[in-house]
Amino acid sequence: MFNGVLHSTNVYDSDDMVGYRERAASLCLKQGNDEQVLLVTSSRDPNCWVIPGGGIEPNEDTSAAARREAFEEAGVRGNTEACLGIFIDTERKLRTCVFILRVNEELDDWEDSSRIGRRRHWFPLQEARTALLELKASQAYYIDSLVQHFASTKRLNTTETAKSEESMVKKIVFVTENEEKYSEAKDILSSHFDVVLKSMSLVEIQGSSEDIVINKCKAAKEKLNVPFFVEDSSLCFNALNGLPGQYVKWFLKALGPSGLHKLVSAYEDKTAYAMCIVGYSDGQSDEIRLFHGRVDGKIVDPSGVHGFGWDACFLPDNSNESFAQMPKAKKCEISHRALALKNMCDAVIRSASGIKYWQH
């Protein structure tokens, strides 16, 4: 039987990780049901079951890759809730970021069902673990991590814990030069953290959003020895294959919100998504924890007087108000930044070690 070993080092800057293939996978769960997980038949053996997942495409966000793989392999759509961890296969040189995905749509026919006859099935958690041991023993440990996650969340929600948290507000530093972002973060985290602003100029390298955040964390840690976080936000136009993405602030500086709207005005597809990635460090260890928040929507003619940046030209799905038309309190409930920071908050409170890195 496969045995997982806790890997406590930072996988991003270890020489041993050079040449590893980056993957993303989804533990697909039903809305309001934590007792079953969706598995699909293996492309190698149609009698064996695996967890939907695959390689991350160039410049693709890890959570977006997890959703894409779930759609292609299992024919389901949904929202990623949390990252359970990064699982490392040293033998096959794979590094897989595993997300919880809450399914809100199941297609009758999908890409892999038509192309290779792939099937899907909802399994109780322990039956899923047993099924995975037949071909993908390493993936059985994803189920163990999921069970641990639920157990920790349940403990977090007890009355005793809630009372304890209510009486104890911890300080955490937000490293940013953007006072608007700081103001929102302070409001979003006010129930659990006293957010302290540390204005620091951090070089933003060219690369993926994850690379940018990791580099920021490393640079900030050279000057800080207390818990802190950094963030990077993206605005991705589907018609432009994800551009401007993590470079949106440079587009915004040159074009303004109206110019961003004009970029997609010639395209029928005006859909877009706002993405925030938060990087957390305890200020002591080399571990960097990443937390994602994504809101889907579309690009519109700028409207509204609240918010900042590109808020005026982004209309979230299921809303008739752009971010800039919303009161600040409403935006701080539903925004990409709010989702990422709430994920960070939950993880930091839930466990001193936060996201786990597993090696086998």
One pLDDT digit (tens) per residue for the chain, 360 residues: 223 322 222 233 333 445 678 889 999 999 888 889 999 999 888 889 999 999 988 878 888 899 999 999 999 999 988 788 777 776 778 888 899 999 999 999 999 999 999 999 999 998 998 888 887 777 888 888 888 777 766 544 444 444 444 444 478 899 998 999 999 999 999 888 889 999 887 777 777 888 888 889 999 988 888 889 999 999 999 999 889 988 898 898 899 999 999 999 989 999 999 999 999 988 888 888 888 889 999 999 999 898 899 999 999 998 999 999 999 999 998 899 999 998 888 777 655 433 344 443
Residues 249/310, Cβ–Cβ less than 8 Å: no
12: Cβ contacts below 8 Å, ≥ 6 apart: 214, 288
- CB crowding 7-42: b at 16 or more within 10 Å, else e: beebbbeeeebeebebbbbbbbbbeeeeebbbbbbb
CA 205 to chain CA centroid, Å, is 20
What is the torsional sign of CA 95, 100, 103, 106? positive
CATH 3.90.950.10-classified regions of the chain:
170-353
Topology, domain 21-155: Nucleoside Triphosphate Pyrophosphohydrolase (3.90.79)
For domain 170-353, which CATH number applies: 3.40.190.10, 3.90.950.10, 3.40.50.300, 3.20.20.140? Answer: 3.90.950.10
pTM, two decimals, is 0.56
Q: What is the torsion angle, in degrees rounded to the nearest 10, for the CA atoms of residue 159, residue 163, residue 168 and residue 170? A: 30
CATH 3.90.79.10-classified regions of the chain:
21-155
C-alpha 314/C-alpha 291 separation (Å) is: 22
Q: What's the DSSP call for residue 358?
A: E
C-alpha 213/C-alpha 217 separation (Å) is: 6
Q: Rounded to 5 degrees, what are φ and ψ at 253? A: -65, -35
